Structure 1
Amino acid sequence: MALRLLRGKDDRLTAYALVAGGVARWTEDRPAGPEWTGPWLIEAPGLVSLTVAQSTEGYAHLVGLRRRPGGTGEPARVDIVHAIQFQTGRPLTAWHSLGTPHPKDPRKAERTSAPAMAVDSSGALRVFVRNAGGGVSARRQDPKGTWERWTDWKGTDVLGGLSAAATADGRLELLAPAGKGAALRWYQPKPGAAPKRGEDVPADARPDSAAVVETSPGTLTHYWRDADSGELLAWRPGAPAPAPLGGSTGTGPVAAVRAVVDGHDCTVLAHQDAGRLAVAAHPSEDEAAGVWWTPSGEQGAHNPALALDGQGRVVLAALGMDGRLLVARQKTDEGGLALRAWNRVGSG
């Protein structure tokens, strides 16, 4: 399952989780909580992956990979689907199929990866997948809502687990873990520019472990888990080598958010480690200062997500073993990154 946490234009947080039958959604009753409403099921039969991105208008774009059974002896029916939530707590649009880069070959379409996406400075939404040839394909929705055709961005040996984001000024970056000890990277040199292929990143990344967050104005830091050691690594453009973050006993991608801790600009991290969550914070873009992981939450909590609430406090959310949403909020009356007691929301 995947969990995503977004703050809407009205400063209320919404949590989205992939569940059987579609997407579960929980919404803060008021900015900064603590009460939530949910879960509300957004039906999407066959949905097997979920990613969520936010536009400058505050719209939540939901995109996922849908896989439905084919006929006897036929391949599964696979496509990418998209829906929009225009306001916090409101219903979504109907799911719209974006197809795949292989509309005439169902067996190739089966090899399409889970998508990543980001919204650039023009308001255009781009959806990225690994295609059947092991490269990257993208489909763009222009600012007026019209979808263009799938385009081939090339690349080879892509493993899946693509990670995309845009800076606050809307400059997009895409990281695609690949074989041969490298990750492929595309970026916009400036807001509104045509994306271009950058130099490969020195990364031997585990599939589905990549994540990205803006750690200073205009700079995105990419994270992944080393294929051999399992350690989390961080890298940003201009860095000579990836920076180690520890966490080698953990699994899956790290959640990250930029926040103020004790008056300092920090990056807060969370991941699943040894059957529970672990949390850390360090000065933004100064991983060399040291990263110390602290266990948090109940045994079995998984799929952490991080965001800032309407008061600028760090909110850590996760899913419990029973499927219920777990939420912990930053204390403001203690030093360091102290979290209040975990709150269990709704029913699973």
Structure 2
Amino acid sequence: MVAVVAAALIGIQGLSAPNASAVIPLIPSFVQVVAHQDDDLLFMNPDVSGGIKAGVDTTTIYLTAGEGGEKTYSLDYVRDRQAGVRAAYARMAGLTDDNECRRDQAGPGGCWTLTERSMSGGIAEEFTLDTWTGLKLVFLNLPEASHTDDLVTLAEVENGWPPAIKTLDMDGDPNSGAWPHEYTRSSLVGFTSALLYWYGATTVRAQDSAPDMQLSVPGKWHGDHEAHVAASRLADEAVRDYGRVANERVLLEHYRDYNIEVMPPNLAQPERDEKDDIFAEYRPHDSVTGGTYGTEWTGAEYSRAPRGTKWVARDGNMLLHAFVVTGGGLFEWFQDNALNWQGPYAHGDNGWALDAGLSLHNNADGRMEVFLRRRDTGEIVTRFQSAGGGWGWGELGSPNEVSGPWANSPSLRVSSPVVSSNADGRLQVFVRNAGGGISTRWQAAPNGSWNGWTDMLGSDVQGPPEVVKTYNGRMELFAPTRGRVLHWYQPAPNAPFVSDANFPNITAASGLSTGLNASGRIELTYRRPNDAHTMTLYQAQPDGGWLGPGDFSPGADAHGGVGEPAMVTSHGRMVAAIRNRGGGVSFSRQAAPDQPFGAWTDRGGLLVGVPAAGLDRDGNIVMLSISPSGLLYVSGERADGSFSSWTSHG
């Protein structure tokens, strides 16, 4: 018997005024913070190249010199790797040959201009593309290994000891000049935060601060590189500081690193070819890797903490609310009684570092509750409406131990939560636990306290599961692994879950989404490995067996892109919205209730994460996306089924 444990409640507060505290203008600006000169090319593409194609100012900050782990290092090798990323970024900016200028070089005859950028107690080498000054590469040149001269490494200083780290001697004179430069951990975070301010960052991309240690990659430290983890954790702190003082709307996105090698390939062939062509510009400059190095990662790009599609929902008055986590905390937009969008309103973060993924649901009495994950501990927390109209914070803890130094706490492998309600109104939350299975908590009574965590078993689950409430009040749960999808279901409303050993054998190269047909049949949607086609597995009848999988666009353009679809049913027909290869939104609609989906329509735009969709008070679809500048973009369904132009809010 599971003991009843009440979630800790932490005060009740009102909302702040609409956000007006961004010191910098909300003009889109991507900034990547990575450890090495190839991390962005291998693990953050095609997102980086997509932003450059869209004309968004883009800066990449390389924390280490990438000098390698040999006993001795060569500055020539460091300079070669810098030249490699200059060549790769020049190609992404449209310079496909050296006829106009040397794409890998700075100075006379080269495509780049070098500036030594000093501020806030730090120094960096900044390379700016001459044909587009909004494209910059910034090198701090910190050591990634100790070598024979016992240099302090990035991982060591991030871990807290030794207390200071020196850069490599980039000017060749240890007794004069700006190099080497020394940082403490706090001054390194401060300098990185100052660079985010200098480059006007509105979306920051970082690496994996807590790699999944169940994903085994031969020869890699816990399936990753210690400098990747250190760079991500330092970037997290820099973004938090930057969000407090300059731009609380800054978005923070995390990417998996080496372990995408053992994940299902999720890029369509055109995106994979382009990613490989870009890396091919870098590869000849790296004498240590060379050869075919990199091809094990050019077929995939995976978010480490996906935002998901569950960030919009209706309140008790059938008005839509959208919640987004930024570097400054949780923000909310909502429809007023005239169906106009208001906000954003700042909920803060209660002193916690919040992950991007969240899930919304109403309590039995209509009060909204937002379920989130703490990035610093992995614990699940909530932001809930009180009966008096204010908002409070609650804690649901973690199914796993919150302990361990550095990035080793088991709880850090817990996923963002998903939530639904039982037939009697009791909320139930589900997460992927540190063991790779599923854990759940549920309210002991509608609107009441919470039972403790229960292990539903399972293994190799990747990311958050997906839960759907059926036409008759039961819940069904789906979880993607690398080789199949796991399925649990309630045999009756409010009943315990049962594992389905006979669920069809499918592999998803994305998260999962569900929708309900007009007849009540469930459709499970996902991306197929290798070509990114959107697929559907569907019930033959309500509560019945499963048919498929079926391709949304057999023999036609599937619009590429990554991430799961957002699913919504309007006037009896389901609509799926995806992030497409251009970084915008495409949608497909059923031709008629309970019928196959039609061709994809590109709605344009440029978003962070994946789109969301909901129904307004009149039953019309509203598509939503978050722009790189942190603005909410909305497109509403018209009476004829078409959609309005995107409008920005906040």
> CA 1:300–1:324 in 2, change beyond 3 Å: closer, same or farther?
same
Alpha-carbon separation, structure 1, partners of 2:429 and 2:313: 18
Contact between 1:187 and 1:195, CA under 8 Å: does it hold in 2?
A: yes
2:548 alignment partner, SS class: coil
Equivalence for 2:477: 174
Alpha-carbon separation, structure 1, partners of 2:515 and 2:392: 27
2:585 to 271, 277, 301: 277
> CA 1:110–1:104 in 2, change beyond 3 Å: closer, same or farther?
closer
1:328 alignment partner, SS class: strand
1:98 to 390, 393, 396: 396
Write the letter of the residue equivalent to 1:43: G
2:410 alignment partner, SS class: helix
> CA 1:86–1:14 in 2, change beyond 3 Å: closer, same or farther?
farther
Alpha-carbon separation, structure 2, partners of 1:92 and 1:22: 14
Instruction: Give yes or no for the alignment of 1:114 onto 2:114.
Output: no
Write the letter of the residue equivalent to 1:161: P
Deviation sequence 1:50-69 (CA, Å, 0-9, x none): 1112345433221111022x
Deviation sequence 1:221-274 (CA, Å, 0-9, x none): 2111123221111113423321111436121111111112xxxx2101111102
Contact between 2:429 and 2:441, CA under 8 Å: does it hold in 1?
A: yes
Write the letter of the residue equivalent to 1:67: R
Instruction: Give yes or no for the alignment of 1:286 onto 2:586.
Output: no
TM normalised by structure 1 equals 0.85
1:26 alignment partner, SS class: strand
> CA 1:56–1:266 in 2, change beyond 3 Å: closer, same or farther?
farther
Deviation at 1:206, TM superposition (A): 2.1
How do residues 249-288 of structure 1 correspond to structure 2 at under 5 angstroms? 249-260=560-571, 265-274=572-581, 275-282=583-590, 283-287=592-596
Deviation at 1:104, TM superposition (A): 6.2
2:546 alignment partner, SS class: coil
Equivalence for 1:190: 492
Deviation sequence 1:110-169 (CA, Å, 0-9, x none): 221222221110222211112222211111122241211111111122122311121254
Contact between 1:66 and 1:81, CA under 8 Å: does it hold in 2?
A: yes
Contact between 1:64 and 1:115, CA under 8 Å: does it hold in 2?
A: yes
Instruction: Give yes or no for the alignment of 1:66 onto 2:374.
Output: yes
Equivalence for 1:339: 643
> CA 1:146–1:178 in 2, change beyond 3 Å: closer, same or farther?
same
How do residues 4-15 of structure 1 correspond to structure 2 at under 5 angstroms? 4-15=311-322
Contact between 2:324 and 2:331, CA under 8 Å: does it hold in 1?
A: yes
Deviation sequence 1:181-211 (CA, Å, 0-9, x none): x11011112212221111334221124x211
* Deviation larger for 231-240 or 185-194: 231-240
* Deviation larger for 220-229 or 148-157: 220-229
1 or 2, which has the higher strand percentage? 1
Contact between 2:518 and 2:573, CA under 8 Å: does it hold in 1?
A: no
Deviation at 1:100, TM superposition (A): 1.2
Deviation at 1:86, TM superposition (A): 5.5
Equivalence for 2:379: 79
Instruction: Give yes or no for the alignment of 1:142 onto 2:444.
Output: yes
TM normalised by structure 2 equals 0.47
Over the aligned positions, Cα root-mean-square deviation in angstroms equals 2.3
Deviation at 1:302, TM superposition (A): 5.5
Deviation sequence 1:41-81 (CA, Å, 0-9, x none): 2212311121112345433221111022xxxxxxxx22111
Aligned length: 323
User: Structure 1 regions of 5+ residues with no counterpart?
Assistant: 69-76
Equivalence for 1:72: none
Deviation sequence 1:293-341 (CA, Å, 0-9, x none): 1111434475311111112221111112221111111111x3xx31122
1:50 alignment partner, SS class: strand
1:58 alignment partner, SS class: coil
Contact between 2:437 and 2:461, CA under 8 Å: does it hold in 1?
A: yes
2:391 alignment partner, SS class: coil
Contact between 1:307 and 1:315, CA under 8 Å: does it hold in 2?
A: yes
Write the letter of the residue equivalent to 2:398: T
1:109 alignment partner, SS class: helix
> CA 1:259–1:190 in 2, change beyond 3 Å: closer, same or farther?
same
Write the letter of the residue equivalent to 1:40: Y
Write the letter of the residue equivalent to 2:347: I
Instruction: Give yes or no for the alignment of 1:38 onto 2:346.
Output: no
> CA 1:316–1:39 in 2, change beyond 3 Å: closer, same or farther?
same
Equivalence for 2:201: none
> 1 or 2 for the larger relative contact order (CA 8 Å, sep ≥6)?
2
Contact between 1:212 and 1:223, CA under 8 Å: does it hold in 2?
A: yes
Contact between 1:304 and 1:317, CA under 8 Å: does it hold in 2?
A: yes
> CA 1:53–1:124 in 2, change beyond 3 Å: closer, same or farther?
same
